[in-house]
Structure 1
Amino acid sequence: MSRSVATKALSRSYTGERTLTFLVGLLAFLGGALALVVGFGGLGEFRGRRPLLDPIALEWLGSHATPARIAAIVLGVLLFVLGLRWVVRSLRPEPRPDLDLDRTEGAELVVTAAAIAGAVEADAAQLDGVSRARVRAVGSRTSPALRVTVWLHEGTDLKAVWSDLDARVLTRARESLGLASLPTAVRMELDTSPAKRVR
Structure 2
Amino acid sequence: MTSPATRAAARSYGGERALTMTTGLLLLLLGVGAALLGYGVFGEGRAARAVLDPQVLRTLVDWQLAARIGAIVLGLVLLAFGLRIVFATLRPEHHPDLALNPTRGHGVLVTAGAITEAIATDAEQVPGVSKARATMVGDEEEPALRLSLWLEDGTDVKQVWREVDDTVLRQARESLGVDHLPTAVRLELGAAQRQRVR
TM superposition score normalised by structure 1? 0.91
Q: Do the aligned partners of 1:102 and 1:110 also contact (CA within 8 Å) in 2?
A: no
Letter in 2 for 1:112: T
- For 2:42, the equivalent position in structure 1 comes to 43
Following the alignment from structure 2 to structure 1, what is the Cα–Cα distance between the partners of residues 110 and 160?
27
1:5 aligns with 2:11: no
Q: Residue 160 of structure 1 corresponds to which residue in structure 2?
A: 159
Whether 2:24 is the aligned partner of 1:25: answer yes
Separation in 2, partners of 1:113, 1:180: 18
Q: In structure 1, how many angstroms separate the alpha carbons of the residues matched to 2:132 and 2:16?
A: 30
1:13-65 deviation line (CA, Å, top 9, x unaligned) = 21111111111111111111111111211111122221334433222211222
User: Which residue identity lines up with residue 25 of structure 2 in the other structure?
Assistant: L
Task: Decide whether aligned partners of structure 1 residues 76 and 105 sit closer, same or farther in structure 2, where only a CA change above 3 A counts.
Answer: farther
1:70-104 deviations in Å (ceiling 9; x for gaps): 22111111111111111111111111110111335
- Percent identity over paired residues: 51
Aligned-partner Cα distance in 2 for 1:56–1:106 = 71
Distance 1:21 1:190, change over 3 A: same
Report how many aligned residue pairs link the two structures: 197
Structure 1, gaps ≥5 residues long:
none
The amino acid across from 2:162 in the alignment is S
Encode CA deviations 1:103-154: one digit per residue, 9 max, x unaligned: 3576131111011101111111111211111111111111111110101111
Q: Quick check: 129-138 or 184-193, which moved more? A: 184-193
Counting only pairs closer than 5 Å after superposition, residues 98-177 of structure 1 correspond to structure 2 as 98-104=97-103, 107-177=106-176
TM-score (ref. length: structure 2): 0.91
Any unmatched runs of 5+ in structure 2? none
Distance in 2, matches of 1:39 and 1:58, equals 22
